[in-house]
Amino acid sequence: MMNSAAAGPNPTESGCVALISFRVRCEKLGHGDGVFLSRSDDPNMARLIPLYTTATNYPWYSTSSPLAVTLPSQELGDDDKHKVCSYRYAIYRAGKFYRWEEHADAPPDDDVAMDVTHQQPPPSTSPENNFYHEVPLKMLVEGESYIVNDLLGVVSGPPAIDHVNTQTARVRDASGLFSRSGSGAALSNGSLSALGASPATTAHRKKVGFAPAPPSYHNHNPLVSNKRNVHLDSTDGLVVVSAFLPVHLHRSDTGEWSADWDYEALLSMQTHLRVTRVGTVKWRGWHGNHGVAGSPEGGVPVSERAKVEDCLRPFNCVPVWIETSLFGQMYNGFCKGVLWPILHNVTSVYSSRKGTKTEDRRDMASDEDQFSEVCTDDLAQGPIHGDGGKEAELWSAYTAVNRHFANTVVQCFNEGDMVWIHGFHLMVLPSYLIRRIPMAKVGLFLHTPFPSSEIFRTVWCREDLLRGMLNADQVGFHLFEYGRHFLTCCRRLLGLNYGMIPDASGGFNLAIESNGRHVTITSIHAGVEPQVLNQILTYNSTLEKAYAIRQQYQGKIVFCAIDRLESLKGIPLKLLGLERFLQRCPEWAGKIVLIQVGISAFERFDDYVKTKKEVLEMVTKLNSQWPGCVQFEECDESQMRLQQRMALLRAADVVLVTPIRDGLNLTPLEFTLAHQDALLPIGRNDGRKRGVCILSEFSSCTRVMRGALHVNPWKVAELAHAYHQAVTMSEDERLRRLSTASEFVTRVTTQRWALAVMLDLKGVTKADSVQYSGAGLGLGYRLLGMDTGFQSLDTNAVAKQFKNARSRLILLDYGGTILRNDNLDRLTRFQVVKQVRAPSLPTESIISTLKDLCSDKKNVVFVVSGKERHSLAKTLNHIPNLGLAAEHGMFISWPTSKVGGKRVWETIVPQQDRSWRSIAISIMEVYTSRTHGSYIEETEMKVLWQYRDADPEFGYLQARELEDHLANVLRSFSVDILHGGVEEGGYVEVRPKGVNKGVLAMHVIQHGSQMGGGQKLDFALVMGDDHCDEPMLSVVRQIGRRASNSRRARRGEDPLNDLPASVTLVDVSSCDDYIQPEFEAVTCTVGKKPSAADSYVHDVDEALEFLESLARLTSRVHKYYSSIDLRSFDGNSAGNSFVDNHQPVQTSWGSAFGGSIGSNNSGTGFTRSMSLTEMGGDLGETHQVDRKVSANLNEFLGMGVIEDEEEAEDDDAFFF
């Protein structure tokens, strides 16, 4: 070990340093454990350096930035050249030092195990042990960068060092950056000091004994910025929500309550995070259905709930108290009766059979009868879905229970906590949580399959369920197959898009775009806890039970299966496969036995009765032909817990899991772990052909259990062949399959699964640049992610700007802004395009509002639409001084006072060769013929291929192909090919190049100054509603931002923050000469949604109400005047006059002020303006000062507008 000088030279100054990044592979760290690097010369652990990991890099932990190692001088002797850099790793738990690394931390790899056998005996956990890693300094070159790869617990052998080729790295002095106490100085002789992050590097690996963590595929993407490592520590809070708490309750005869962990539950894993678990407790009568014979208790008595809460407090478990009958309706009625079959891709398995009376039903015990109140027989005849009657009651119970859970979660939530929801019982819980804790990171994980869209769309509450799930920040599934179905449902039923988005750590995640938010989709299969299962396998009771089973069936190959007695588990299918096998291979009769354990599924009711009857009949038939080949036993779920199950799996040689549709099923993983000893020499000598798993391809774990025999349970011959394979498989193949299956079981544990999901959830970014707002009522409530500053239109502020402006521009979209949008309804859109139905027409109130706005000479008003020019002219041509823009700005007609005649139109781009139209239409016709629901829409200057009525996914694929086809064929034409409107159904449009509403807005600003009497613009209002209006909103907002920053620069202030990402940045500097320095821009979208606008109104009615208020301002008689108005009457003023200075202004101001103002006034107008002193003097002499004129000079100069309280009250009537 090296001793460094306390005041050694700074490595950044000496330059004799090398840069090292340390990485260590930690296979056996517990959930929440932390790793720190400690130098050999730091016995007090004063300058520990933390290592971090991510979901993609785990189990690799690495330093966040390279460290500087001071190299020995070249002038040193031979002994000094053998110096090393020594260090070791410390394990922290719950934020405190736990222990040093030890040999037991080494991973169980074969090559590593060989190295460990030659190491020294395991060291003690005291800080004084000599367990150090060493890096020979002679291997390092001055100024170069390296990566040192370590294995936790392995110190023998040469280090694995990667040489990194990098340009000159800037070394910043960050002494003490990671220190825990005091500040560390840069140290010499092989000591470490933290450095800044180095540039992107390319590592050339030397030969090492293990594989490095794979680099991120998208690290080169320039869109990814501000990368940060995401890690979990003991300060992170987590609220885990599930239908049932993972505990067992016990009540003594004296009324004392006790509890212990349900280690079989997936969520019972222990962690060092600050975890609070929320759920209900299972106690007698929890289902709330008393049946014929009644139930002994109705859940936990109310009088004893406080005792139960005290009992659960040490477990950090918070119970949710719900009326048992309500919870029974939710759980057994809606969840098991409606959602369960749907989520498993079936709609008729549990259909009702009213009137069916069998001996089995009459013989059912009272415990079975108590589920009858909410069984599916009580549902309406026919399909089990509907929105009335019993179904409505069950849906109401489901939502009510979710509300109860939300109340409890909010009470347990602390700021900064993550909320992790589990199970299909709580699919709408995120909708209730985001109302009250919108900034919480909420994750939802489903442990069931998710059906295809064709199945899920049969549920009457499908949109509410999907929106409830999308209100979470992360939705998790065990398989991507289930996630893909969820994505398809969101695409087909809600019209949402999905794709890969960059995450905070530099990678990319699959996500759905929903209302300006990104909902991350995680697909990670859960595992089991080997430590817990191995401990159970050592219990004497487990070993005795397994031995008894082996003795009972001595000399036979034991097949076992543990399934619930319901149709989905496929028990009859595996019995048919056994029958076929014995028919074809009768020599195996008497040599094999199938132990089939059936777990009672009373909540399935009719399906349970039917399945049980069918299984008993088949078992009787098989045993009559081949006596003793099947041993069937039915038991309650409480009688087949983890310990009993592990004993049976240990005794069995082959396990069968053959469901026709299944979610999380851990039985194959438990079986594999129970037979891992067969891979060791001592386990191979027992003479058993064990460790083979026959697994249905419809089970989730079939994707991770690659060593199993995968079968299609519907194909009986394939099942029979699997039986034959299992009994005739060679030892080498059997062990190879068992080893392959063991790889996942030992690598992906429950804790590692939870860690990966939690890292993804914590990595969800709720950026400061995005504000979250709610919209909608009831279960339609959704969380919107919008740019910071995006708010409801402030009508008062806009009105003041509007009143004080001298030259205004108003750009209004047509359909969806001032008129009902015909495009929202697909049928209406199609009928309008095919001219089967007349389009919506503006009402008289709309026409009147436009006329009032256009009557003010300060206003330049344009209606900008995607419609053809003849359609616009037909409805709006009679409005004087109204400008029109058709086909998204291709045609423009300037305002004119002449109405009724033919309008003059011009184009903003020159009309060129239009032969591309016939070519585009011919190609589109081909795609229309093979894409049902698509059609072609033609206008004067553009051609669209609409696929809004086609299958969403097929239409999108066809549109992409059409887009590429058109781009290739029309590349010689001056056209733009756009693929847009995917949210509304989608279209492919071909239009002349350089045409959009943003270009039109700039054109109007640059060429429309003559419309406002030659004045530069000082106010602009732009309103739109859809994606076609976004370019116009972006352009005008950028122009307004440039004007604001220019004013701030003149005042010596810093510029405003950059515009949000929703604004498409273009060069608008060409408009600078046409706007006033005081220019103000107001951009507004119709509907609360993400937009380039800076404000919104809720609907068309609100937009019209706002425009009517502005129209009333322009049409009111001028009772009050601003100082600007007074200056406008000065004949000698320059640049600020609205009128010709050489002409008298006809006005009624004389009567307004009680007489003529100034001796030179002729009574009909002003020839010059007077000073305030003169005006005040005259007013004082007449003693007839109007009460509506302010006599306060400071108020006059400060406000800029002469007004009194009556005016303020009058304005309030307009805008509040």
- Count CA atoms closer than 13 A to 117's CA, side-chain side: 7
Taking the C-alpha atoms of 1167, 1171, 1172 and 1175 in order, what is their torsion angle to the nearest 10 degrees?
-50
pLDDT tier, 558 (very low <50, low <70, confident <90, very high otherwise): very high
Task: Write out the two tokens for 284.
Answer: 């007698």
Q: Which sign does the torsion angle of CA 863, 864, 866, 868 carry?
A: positive
CA distance 1211 to 742: 77
Of 975, 979, 1085, the residue nearest 1030 (C-alpha): 1085
Higher pLDDT, 361 or 1053: 1053
- Count CA atoms closer than 13 A to 413's CA, side-chain side: 22
Of 344, 303, 302, the residue nearest 321 (C-alpha): 302
CB atoms within 10 A of CB 545: 18
- Amino acid at the residue 1030: E
- What mean pLDDT comes out for the span 180-199? 36
CA distance 178 to 1: 22
Task: Write out the two tokens for 772.
Answer: 């979250």
pLDDT tier, 185 (very low <50, low <70, confident <90, very high otherwise): very low
Q: What confidence score (pLDDT) does residue 468 get? A: 92
- What mean pLDDT comes out for the span 2-17? 44
Q: Which DSSP symbol is given to 185?
A: P
Higher pLDDT, 45 or 1153: 45
Of 610, 617, 627, 633, the residue nearest 575 (C-alpha): 617
Residue 722 has pLDDT above 90, yes or no: yes
Of 426, 481, 487, 497, the residue nearest 453 (C-alpha): 487
- Residues whose CB is less than 8 angstroms from the CB of residue 538 and which lie 6 or more positions away in sequence, other chains included: none
**Helix/strand/coil for 800:** helix
- Amino acid at the residue 672: T
Of 922, 889, 910, the residue nearest 974 (C-alpha): 910
Place of tokens 């019982």: 425
- Residues whose CB is less than 8 angstroms from the CB of residue 311 and which lie 6 or more positions away in sequence, other chains included: 249, 257, 258, 259
CB atoms within 10 A of CB 1152: 17
The answer to whether 694 and 652 have CB atoms below 8 angstroms apart is no
CB atoms within 10 A of CB 551: 9
Rg (CA), the chain: 38
Q: Strand 1095-1097 relative to strand 1075-1086: parallel, antiparallel, unpaired?
A: parallel
Q: What confidence score (pLDDT) does residue 687 get? A: 73
Q: What confidence score (pLDDT) does residue 277 get? A: 93
Q: What confidence score (pLDDT) does residue 131 get? A: 78
Least confident of 238-252, 544-558, 896-910: 896-910
Count H helices and E strands in the chain, helices first.
36, 44
- Amino acid at the residue 1: M
CA distance 952 to 948: 7
pLDDT tier, 1123 (very low <50, low <70, confident <90, very high otherwise): low
Higher pLDDT, 694 or 139: 694
Q: What confidence score (pLDDT) does residue 203 get? A: 36
Backbone conformation region of residue 45, classed left if phi is above 0, alpha if psi is from -120 to 50, else beta: left
Q: Which sign does the torsion angle of CA 188, 192, 197, 200 carry?
A: positive
Q: What confidence score (pLDDT) does residue 405 get? A: 95
Burial-class residue 1132 by CB neighbours within 10 Å (0-12, 13-18, 19+): exposed
- Residues whose CB is less than 8 angstroms from the CB of residue 234 and which lie 6 or more positions away in sequence, other chains included: 32, 93, 94, 95, 272, 273, 274
The answer to whether 1133 and 1127 have CB atoms below 8 angstroms apart is yes
Q: What confidence score (pLDDT) does residue 119 get? A: 37
- SS3 of 481-539: the string is HHHHHHHHHHHHHHCCEEEEEECCCCCEEEEEEECCEEEEEEECCCCCCHHHHHHHHCC
Higher pLDDT, 324 or 578: 578
Query: Which alpha helices (H) appear in 596-715, and where do they start and end?
Result: 606-625, 642-651, 667-674, 681-684
- What mean pLDDT comes out for the span 33-39? 87
CA distance 1078 to 1082: 13
* Chain segment 533-544, per-residue pLDDT in tens: 888 999 999 999
- Residues whose CB is less than 8 angstroms from the CB of residue 872 and which lie 6 or more positions away in sequence, other chains included: 814, 863, 865, 884, 886
Backbone angles phi, psi at 169, to 5 degrees: -90, 140
- What mean pLDDT comes out for the span 1151-1155? 33
Q: How far is CA 933 from CA 825, 936, 978, in A?
A: 14, 10, 20
pLDDT tier, 156 (very low <50, low <70, confident <90, very high otherwise): confident
> Which strand (E) or helix (H) includes residue 976?
strand 975-980
- Residues whose CB is less than 8 angstroms from the CB of residue 998 and which lie 6 or more positions away in sequence, other chains included: 1031, 1032, 1034, 1035, 1064, 1066
Backbone angles phi, psi at 526, to 5 degrees: -80, 165
Task: Write out the two tokens for 141.
Answer: 């070159």
Quote the Cα angle for 769-773-778, to 5°. Answer: 160
The β-bridge partners of 836 are: none
CB atoms within 10 A of CB 706: 12
Higher pLDDT, 934 or 165: 934
Output the furthest CA–CA distance in the chain (Å, rounded).
130
pTM, entire model: 0.65
The answer to whether 1072 and 1045 have CB atoms below 8 angstroms apart is no
CB atoms within 10 A of CB 1183: 7
* Chain segment 451-465, per-residue pLDDT in tens: 998 899 888 889 999
Q: Strand 1017-1024 relative to strand 1075-1086: parallel, antiparallel, unpaired?
A: parallel
Q: Which DSSP symbol is given to 806?
A: S
Q: Which DSSP symbol is given to 181?
A: S
Q: Strand 67-70 relative to strand 192-194: parallel, antiparallel, unpaired?
A: antiparallel
Strand order in the sheet with 987-992: 935-938, 943-946, 987-992, 975-980
- What mean pLDDT comes out for the span 242-263? 88
CA distance 526 to 664: 8
Residue 165 has pLDDT above 60, yes or no: no
What end-to-end distance do the CA atoms of the chain give, in Å? Answer: 78
Question: What is the overall mean pLDDT for the chain?
Answer: 76
CA distance 353 to 330: 22
* Chain segment 288-335, per-residue pLDDT in tens: 554 444 445 567 888 889 999 999 998 899 999 998 888 988 988 899
- What mean pLDDT comes out for the span 272-285? 84
Q: What percentage of the chain reaches a pLDDT higher than 90? A: 27
The β-bridge partners of 251 are: 257
Q: What confidence score (pLDDT) does residue 1144 get? A: 38
The answer to whether 271 and 751 have CB atoms below 8 angstroms apart is yes
CA distance 1030 to 1036: 10
Query: Which alpha helices (H) appear in 387-461, and where do they start and end?
Result: 390-412, 429-436, 453-456
- What mean pLDDT comes out for the span 1145-1151? 33
- What mean pLDDT comes out for the span 973-985? 79
* Chain segment 383-431, per-residue pLDDT in tens: 444 555 678 888 999 999 999 999 999 999 988 889 999 999 999 999 9
- What mean pLDDT comes out for the span 704-716? 91
Q: What confidence score (pLDDT) does residue 363 get? A: 45
* Chain segment 101-119, per-residue pLDDT in tens: 888 788 764 333 333 333 3
Q: What confidence score (pLDDT) does residue 603 get? A: 72
Q: What confidence score (pLDDT) does residue 1173 get? A: 39
Q: What confidence score (pLDDT) does residue 168 get? A: 37
Higher pLDDT, 1087 or 170: 1087
Task: Write out the two tokens for 1002.
Answer: 């700039």
CB atoms within 10 A of CB 1105: 15
**Helix/strand/coil for 1181:** helix
- Residues whose CB is less than 8 angstroms from the CB of residue 196 and which lie 6 or more positions away in sequence, other chains included: 65, 170, 171, 172, 174
